[in-house]
Amino acid sequence: MSAEHTARFTLDPAFAVSPVDGRIFGSFVEHLGRCVYQGIYEPGHASADEAGLRTDVLDLVRELGVTAIRYPGGNFVSGYKWEDSVGPREDRPRRLDLAWKSTESNQFGLSEFIDFVRKVGGTPMMAVNLGTRGVAEAIELQEYANHPGGTALSDLRAEHGDAAPFDIRLWCLGNEMDGPWQTGHKTAEEYGRLAAETARAMRQIDPDVELVACGSSSQGMATFAAWESTVLEHSYDLVDHISLHAYYYPTDGDRDSFLASAVDTESFIENVVATCDHVGARLKSKKRINLSFDEWNVWYQDGSGPTLSDEGRGADWAEAPRLLEDNYSVTDAVVVGSLLIALLRHADRVKVACQAQLVNVIAPIATVPDGPAWRQTIFYPFAQASKYGRGTVLDVRPQSPTHETKRFGTVDLLHATAVRDEETGAVSVFAVNRSQDQALPLEVALAGLDLTEVVEHSVLADADPDARNTADQPDRVTPHAGAGTTLVDGTLRATLEPLSWNLIRLG
């Protein structure tokens, strides 16, 4: 290809974005469909441990490298009674879950979740119910979970078998309270006051908890930005983060726009940052609100994508019905990789992020009841980013060939970022080629970096952009080695295959 068809950027450690907060590689476990039951928890499974957790799933979660794990929802939390989920299992009540029109058995509850998080090496991110409940229930849950002992609720936790506190440091103040679909939906004024009151009470118990206020459920909400502004006017000095949620899928067969979904993600992040900083300026505050992008993924919300099973949704009020079980393609994986790049490119403000969800429900891990667990295509970009995206994000400003998309106009074919390990000096370049049919030559100038070799060039791509992994073919799509990648005289040269996710490690 000619020079004008080559993508380029320069890496220099003097120009950095921010150290990466490891919680950016978080996930999400909601009582929705088969995420919990038959997903992470299946007592009768051949691999189940003494707590009923599937050890094959535990192994995959560890390999995936998730950090913060958000729980128990999601829309589910707005009808959640935490008291139902503690104590002897035989005494736990069955409840209707209005969010997903299912029946909740509460056989997997708070203690089981903490056990799961500890076994996979993660940290808990707990949401409180500000839909049908409020301040009192939030601080009661906090006391039960975190107080060392000597009170009714902390002693009850010990009586239930957990003498040591759960030490939950990160809390979500409700979920998507801007959404009319949310049980207990509120106006920005109503929610802002409730969030502030809840935050103030929780800080009376522990001034050092980290709190996330609900932002908009998407940038497309009619109340977007005005919602954040009003909520933060009430809670700015009481919370640490505001949430963002975004899901993407192709519409009308428009794959080019779908591959450019991260254009919307980066715009969303930058618009929320601008709103937060505007409120801070009005309040004359020196504090900076960070972002918790605690729901993101590819999700075929119109039901147009292939699913893991043809069994369907099941009857209303079923227990653990099959819901939202998208079966992901190579194209979906490339989009997920691009979304991860967007999060890393904004690591100065995005400090927490949770891919939704972890198992079966729009998830990187899939399971069969009484059967195997396997990696979906989207597993690989996440696992590689989590493993090699630790360190400091370098400022990447590409010069790239472009193409036209229906939704986003002119977009770069290259979407990229790079992370430097401060201890070893190694650099990981993460790059996506958005072209469906053209390879993309890449040249990276390395300034001030003592790098001499290409350790690895891993590619996720396939001649069939709709190829996917299934229970019958769990390894149909896996990363492969890129060809011809070199590092000579301070310049990295590579060719990015069409429609591909790339990890290039330099040592």
The structural domains of the chain, with segments of one domain joined by +, span 3-12+394-506, 21-388
Q: pLDDT tens digits, residue range 42-78?
A: 999 999 999 999 999 999 999 999 999 999 999 999 9
Three-class HEC string of 130-171: CCCCCHHHHHHHHHHHHCCCCCHHHHHHHHCCCCCCCCCCEE
What is the structure's pLDDT at 196?
Answer: 98
- At the second CATH level, the architecture of 21-388 is Alpha-Beta Barrel (3.20)
What is the structure's pLDDT at 310?
Answer: 65
Distances (CA, A) of 180 to 217, 268, 312: 10, 21, 26
The residue whose two tokens read 């009308």 is 252
Looking at 3.40.50.1360, 2.60.40.1180, 3.30.160.20, 3.40.50.620, the CATH number of the domain 3-12+394-506 comes to 2.60.40.1180
Beta partners for residue 210, in sequence order: 170
What is the structure's pLDDT at 214?
Answer: 98
Question: For the range 161-165, what are the long-range contacts, defined as Cβ-Cβ under 8 Å and sequence gap of 24 or more?
Answer: 161/111, 162/111, 162/114
What is the structure's pLDDT at 315?
Answer: 76
Highest averaged pLDDT of the listed ranges 299-303, 304-308, 400-404 = 400-404
- Using pLDDT thresholds of 50, 70 and 90, give the confidence band for residue 314: low
What is the structure's pLDDT at 206?
Answer: 98
32-41 burial code (b ≥16 CB/10 A, e <16) = bbbbbbbbbb
Query: Two tokens at 19?
Result: 């150290």
Domains 3-12+394-506 and 21-388 share a fold: no
Query: Two tokens at 82?
Result: 């935490």
- 8 Å CB contact between 191 and 219: no
CB atoms near residue 491 (< 10 Å): 13
Average pLDDT over residues 455-475: 98
Give the three-state DSSP class for 129.
coil
- 8 Å CB contact between 388 and 340: no
Q: pLDDT tens digits, residue range 250-275?
A: 999 999 999 999 999 999 999 999 99
What is the structure's pLDDT at 1?
Answer: 38
What is the structure's pLDDT at 273?
Answer: 98
Task: Give the C-alpha separation, 330 to 315, whole Å.
Answer: 32
Task: Give the C-alpha separation, 239 to 173, whole Å.
Answer: 9
pTM of the full structure: 0.97
Average pLDDT over residues 97-110: 97
Average pLDDT over residues 85-97: 98
- Using pLDDT thresholds of 50, 70 and 90, give the confidence band for residue 309: confident
Active-site annotation, residues: 176, 295
What is the structure's pLDDT at 322?
Answer: 94
Strands (E), 196-303: 210-213, 241-248, 290-298
